[in-house]
Amino acid sequence: MKYIIYRTKEYREWYDSQIPKVKWQIDERLSKIEKYGYFGDHRFLDDIWELKWENGRRIYYAFTQQTNILFLLGGLKNAQKKDIKKARLIIEKYCI
């Protein structure tokens, strides 16, 4: 299944602050989601989803329709609780 990915302003700001190597890693992962529907390591957190990397990177997202995904925010494991709270506020802003 192919997906269409949309990015929030907050996500784009976070992404733009990353170094080129990290951007490349993120782009590779998102490309697999868009082309093949392959998410890799991810989990559901009650109302949002989380993409996980072994190095602690996280990206929070939500499904807006069956094949549309809204990327909310990115961060690292050490700020996970704070980032999840922010992501939940962002989803309310865009989806409710």
Per-residue pLDDT band at 93 (split at 50, 70, 90): confident
Count of beta carbons in the 10 Å neighbourhood of residue 7? 16
Give the separation between CA 24 and CA 65, rounded to whole angstroms.
Answer: 27
Give the separation between CA 81 and CA 69, rounded to whole angstroms.
Answer: 22
pLDDT for residue 70: 86
Q: What is the CATH number of domain 4-95?
A: 3.30.2310.20
pTM for this predicted structure:
0.89
Token pair, residue 6, equals 């949309």
pLDDT for residue 15: 97
Per-residue pLDDT band at 37 (split at 50, 70, 90): very high
Place of tokens 């094949």: 67
